[in-house]
Amino acid sequence: MDSGEPRRSETEDPDRAGDGAEEPTADGAPPTERERVRNTQAIALAWNLGWPIAAGVLVGAWIDSTFGTAPAATLVLTLGALVAVVRWLIGLGNGPRGGEQ
């Protein structure tokens, strides 16, 4: 059933790359450059939030199993990683100040 309207990929959009090699979006059109950048930034943010917490859990569990301190090291390192991530997010939200770039 054709509604007569052009599909999104047929419209004139300067953000579209014309090679057709991209993964399609939910509506079947390839993602725009802006969407690709946003997705890449989301993946980078998730990675930067996740690895310190995972490292705190893994290193803490190893210390606890090696020295028999369960669950102290796991809790301390995991909470420390959470605090570091929250501080990083707050700094990210504040952005550069004054003459800083």
pLDDT value, residue 23: 65
Cα dihedral 27, 28, 32, 36 in deg (nearest 10): 90
Q: Does position 21 have pLDDT exceeding 80, yes or no?
A: no
pLDDT value, residue 95: 81
pLDDT value, residue 101: 54
| Domain edges within the chain | 21-94
pLDDT value, residue 28: 79
Distance CA 36, CA 65 (A): 43
Number of Cβ atoms within 10 Å of the Cβ of 78 = 21
Q: Does position 98 have pLDDT exceeding 70, yes or no?
A: no
pLDDT value, residue 92: 86
- Give residue-wise pLDDT tens across range 25-78: 677 788 899 999 999 999 999 999 999 999 999 999 999 999 999 999 999 999
